[in-house]
Structure 1
Amino acid sequence: MTASHTGDHPALTIGRLAERTGVPVRTIRFWSDEGLVPADRSASGHRVYDAASVARLDLVRTLRELGLGLDDVRAVLSRRRGVGEVAQAHVRALESRIRELKAQRAVCVLLARTGTDDTEPDERTVTLMNDLARLSAAQRQNLIDEFVTETFAGTDPDAPGAGIAEGMRTLPSELPDDPTPEQVGAWVELAELVADPGFRARCREMAVTGSDGAAQHPQPDPAAVIEHAGPAEAAGVDPASAEGAAVLARIPGVDGLDRAARLRTAETIELFSDRRVERYWALLGTLNGWPGRAPTVPAFEWLARALRAQDSQP
């Protein structure tokens, strides 16, 4: 078809159209070849564009600048899909990308911090940080679910010790949409922790012992242990000393136990007091923005040592 003037809008050559719109000639030619921007031919066979072509070019450029792919642009132009429908799908894609970029930014901030001291992360840690930050919330939760399912398979869900499984599965473990570097670090540490066979074995040992009823005898009040044994541990009180014995005497349920009962209590405390398990809860707290709490396991470890130190008593 030979081009002609349309009202007051003469046909434009591809070069003039590029100058007018700021779109490179090669891009206009490609869009024309793809059928997105219609073009006529001049008498000499060159591409020319009328007012309708200019309007179509503006629309295609806008859609492309918004990030829509050629198929989506083509669907909008052919009216197979409305602009609103395509825009909604693109909004979802943009939101996902924004979350990914925020997570990657937090990783970079964390790496920048660690790179300024003697704790330079190794290549594996850097890769793990980036990979985990790019996971969706569902993928992150699936990682936790897999850990819980494999670790606690076959345990009695109603047993006292098995309650740890339900807690580990149901407590939120999602990385926030706009994570802090600390939250990225917490997620990396959490992912490494649940992948550790030793940690899995320890959690299962707790659950199985609870299922077997091996720890069903009176235990000291946790609040009293934290109140009395906590300060003793922090102050470096020797569990075997007279001062240590005085601390034991202030903890209800401990004072007056015979030798066998002291040993059973110490064994149970040692079984259910694990710094890695406590760290698991602390990491979840960091991820979810909960107020930090001082570790309590050291107080129970001190109590177990104190109970064993009194082993020479009748």
Structure 2
Amino acid sequence: MDDMSGDTSLTIGDLARRTGLTVKAVRFYADRGIVPPTHRTATGQRRFDPAAAARLALVRTLRALDVDLATVRRVLERETTVAEVAAAHAEALDAHLRVLALRRAVLGWLCSNPEEIDVVHDLALLSADARRLLVEDFLTAVFADRPGTEGPARTLTPELPEDPQPAQVAAWVELAALTRDPDFRALLARLAARQGDLRPDAVAVVRDRARLDLDPTSPEAAAVVAEIGAVDLEYLEAANDPRRERYLTLLALINGWDAPESVAAELDWFLRAAR
């Protein structure tokens, strides 16, 4: 501010009042060369030009946004731009928000499932990369990298959204546990291996033509079975395993798809009628 000698330079106190920073903070930035003084008085007090106030205002804003001091210095020295720093920090913040959303969903799920606390770090809080690797390992075990299985593999791939709901987290935990079950893997591997040798719509045919209104032991039911024709009963028994249908239900919930239509009643009826 002006004094009797006409000096218009600013003291540390002046900068603190202009920027809203504390005197201690202004002194900190001055000591580290963020706002170098233009000169010193005869008594050794530092003096700053008006541009130092604008410089400190920018520093204050960037630090409030958690920009580290080294990056602040690079902005002030024009080694990078505010826009570039803002873009990088916005991207980092988006990633952090995705992590927070997952944690919030996990906490919401734990409110209703406190007994499942042991699986939180094991399954619920896996990173996106860890989830991908778990699923890839499962699908490799099921399809054994056979040619032409890319499409079916995609239809069995869960993709937990970046901001999942607690119900989706619960579904993921249950599905992930299923994928690590050796018996379930073997079941789907058997189904996948035999699909190429069967009419691809075997389950759909049974679903569409089963007659639940008929006693499966009746002659009328036998006629329906004969009309459907030869179907691999071992394959249908495997397809009727409740774990398979549960996996598809969980998969739909995780991916935001419509819930799959249950065919358990139709398969039960057909398997009884066919024997």
What's the offset of the Cα at 1:26? 4.6
The letter of the residue matching 1:31 is Y
What's the offset of the Cα at 1:85? 1.8
Cα separation, 2, equivalents of 1:224 and 1:157: 27
1:39-72 deviations in Å (ceiling 9; x for gaps): 4655444555442222211101111222322232
- The equivalent position to 1:31 in structure 2, one of 24, 29, 32, is 29
- The question of 1:284 aligning with 2:247 is answered no
What's the offset of the Cα at 1:107? 2.2
Aligned to 1:79: 78
What's the offset of the Cα at 1:291? 2.0
What's the offset of the Cα at 1:78? 1.0
- The question of 1:99 aligning with 2:98 is answered yes
Pair 1:29–1:110, CA change in 2 (3 A): farther
Counting only pairs closer than 5 Å after superposition, residues 176-195 of structure 1 correspond to structure 2 as 176-195=161-180
The letter of the residue matching 1:245 is T
Q: What SS does the corresponding residue of 1:144 show, helix, strand or coil? A: helix
Cα separation, 1, equivalents of 2:141 and 2:41: 71
1:69-113 deviations in Å (ceiling 9; x for gaps): 22321221111112222222222212222222222222222223x
Q: What SS does the corresponding residue of 2:60 show, helix, strand or coil? A: helix
Aligned to 1:245: 217
Alignment RMSD: 3.6
- The equivalent position to 2:137 in structure 1, one of 128, 146, 161, is 146
Cα separation, 1, equivalents of 2:135 and 2:98: 20
- The question of 1:296 aligning with 2:269 is answered no
The letter of the residue matching 1:283 is L
Cα separation, 1, equivalents of 2:253 and 2:76: 48
For normalisation by structure 1, the TM-score amounts to: 0.70
The letter of the residue matching 1:265 is D
Cα separation, 2, equivalents of 1:108 and 1:141: 22
Structure 2 unaligned segments of length 5 or more: list them: none
Cα separation, 1, equivalents of 2:203 and 2:62: 65
Q: What SS does the corresponding residue of 2:34 show, helix, strand or coil? A: coil
Equivalent residues of 1:266, 1:303 under 8 A apart: no
Q: What SS does the corresponding residue of 1:177 show, helix, strand or coil? A: coil
Aligned to 1:307: 274
Cα separation, 2, equivalents of 1:152 and 1:286: 23
What's the offset of the Cα at 1:172? 5.7
Equivalent residues of 1:225, 1:251 under 8 A apart: no
Cα separation, 2, equivalents of 1:167 and 1:180: 26
Aligned to 1:11: 10
Pair 1:300–1:123, CA change in 2 (3 A): same
Aligned to 2:116: 122
Aligned to 2:147: 157
Number of aligned residue pairs: give it: 272
**Identity fraction in percent:** 38
Equivalent residues of 1:266, 1:305 under 8 A apart: no
Aligned to 2:64: 65
Pair 1:300–1:80, CA change in 2 (3 A): same
Equivalent residues of 1:221, 1:253 under 8 A apart: no
The letter of the residue matching 1:173 is P
Structure 1 unaligned segments of length 5 or more: list them: 233-241, 309-314
